[in-house]
Amino acid sequence: MIVIDTLAIFAPGLLGASVARAAKARGAARRVIIWARRPEVRLALADQPWCDEVVDSAESAAKAANLVVIASPVTRIGELVERIAPHLTAGTIVTDVGSVKADICRQASSSLSSTAATFIGSHPMAGSEKTGWENGDAKLFDGRTCFVTPTENDDDVAVETVVRLWRDLGSEVVTVSADQHDEIVAHISHLPQIVATNLGTLLDQRPAKWSHLAGNGLKDTTRIAASDSTMWVEILEQNRDEILRALQGFEDDLHHFRAALANRDWPELRTRLERGKSWRDSLRP
């Protein structure tokens, strides 16, 4: 493990606080400093044992850092990188935890193009229905996938530093291009969210009593419908094109399934049920 000297975390919510806690717990950084926009959050963070220093301004935090993790909502990442760009010292690496990568990586790399700092995108797949830095957990990343999305032009050492950070925090790191990342998560994360939400909005139009009679099947299938709406509007906004494509694929499958049911094509329905089962059986536990 190469220890990062000063790790700066910007705008910590659930993920940012978990990065701080995990980095301290696992000794991945000598010093963890935090900047938050709201003074009341800064005051509260100053009392946390996993926070070495709270910094009043984003610019000062940027100046002091060797590695910056921007943990803000996806719509704010670009502007934060632009704001701190002139204050970063040479060799500093900036990453983030945003659920969508292509737009953010393009914008951030452009902001840093005239500096000696580097942006490498990250996306730890470790969300939860819980939000807020208070719910941060040093074990949040254990065994979870973390995408790192370098471009071909990125400095190898910078990429390796970011990969190592997430591995040291417990993640299983996968490097892909930002565009491919957005296509993958549209399928494995954004589409399931939309499906769960739409089961919820449909059942919301039926008698409430019905839902209360449901078993664990419905509860599991819709668990993520309880996720934070604000975060999801931002994800939909940032990854609209890939999500529309994934949704089209799902609607096509659903259309074929419904046609088979309408036509009483039981062999076709059996084939589809078996394919769904065999896919699910193959997922690691």
Q: How far is the CB of 144 from a second copy (least distance, A)?
A: 6
Nearer to a second copy, 139 or 250 (CB): 250
Q: Give the DSSP H or E segment for 158.
A: helix 156-168
Q: How far is the CB of 167 from a second copy (least distance, A)?
A: 15
Would you tell me how many other CB atoms lie within 10 Å of the CB of residue 177? 16
Nearer to a second copy, 25 or 247 (CB): 247
Nearer to a second copy, 127 or 136 (CB): 127
CA distance 234 to 239: 9
Instruction: Report the candidate in 248, 141, 253, 144 with the shortest Cα–Cα distance to residue 194.
Output: 248
**Amino acid identity for residue 220 in this structure:** D
Q: How far is the CB of 16 from a second copy (least distance, A)?
A: 18
Nearer to a second copy, 66 or 211 (CB): 211
For 22-46, b where at least 16 C-beta lie within 10 A, e where not — what string?
Answer: bbbeeebbebbbbbbeeeebbeebe
Q: How far is the CB of 235 from a second copy (least distance, A)?
A: 10
Q: Give the DSSP H or E segment for 60.
A: helix 58-64
Q: How far is the CB of 25 from a second copy (least distance, A)?
A: 21
Nearer to a second copy, 2 or 202 (CB): 202
Determine the distance from the C-alpha atom of residue 91 to the mean position of all C-alpha atoms in its chain, rounded to a whole number.
Answer: 25
Q: How far is CA 30 from CA 34, 53, 159, 165, in A?
A: 13, 12, 20, 13
Q: How far is the CB of 80 from a second copy (least distance, A)?
A: 21
Nearer to a second copy, 113 or 277 (CB): 277
Reduced to 3 states (helix: H, G, I; strand: E, B; else coil), residue 123 is: strand
Q: How far is the CB of 173 from a second copy (least distance, A)?
A: 11
Instruction: Report the candidate in 120, 93, 95 with the shortest Cα–Cα distance to residue 177.
Output: 120
Nearer to a second copy, 158 or 246 (CB): 246
